[in-house]
């Protein structure tokens, strides 16, 4: 059980650091949610819908690379 506990603590610390960076850098990177080309954004009257499909794909690829690097 100890390796699992250590992994969870490290994952939590990494999420805290990532969250802090996003919180700190978010306003500096611009407003608008940081939509990439290809993200879906629909606005009709008072209703708006955003689905960041390309952003999700990029983040997934980056996280996959990071996890594979740390796995070795």
Residue spans per domain, the chain: 1-31, 32-72
Distance CA 72, CA 69 (A): 6
Global pTM value: 0.49
Distance CA 34, CA 7 (A): 30
Structure tokens given for 68? 């594979």
Alpha carbon of residue 2 to chain centroid = 28
Q: pLDDT of the chain along its 72 residues, tens only?
A: 788 888 889 999 999 998 888 777 766 655 555 567 888 888 899 998 888 888 888 889 988 998 888 886
């Amino acid at each position: 059980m100890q390796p699992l506990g250590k992994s969870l603590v490290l994952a939590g610390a990494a999420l805290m650091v990532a969250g802090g960076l996003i919180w700190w850098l978010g306003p500096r990177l611009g407003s608008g949610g940081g939509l990439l080309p290809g993200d879906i954004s629909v606005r009709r009257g008072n209703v708006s819908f955003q689905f960041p499909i390309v952003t999700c794909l990029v983040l997934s690829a980056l996280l996959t690379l990071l996890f594979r690097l740390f796995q070795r």
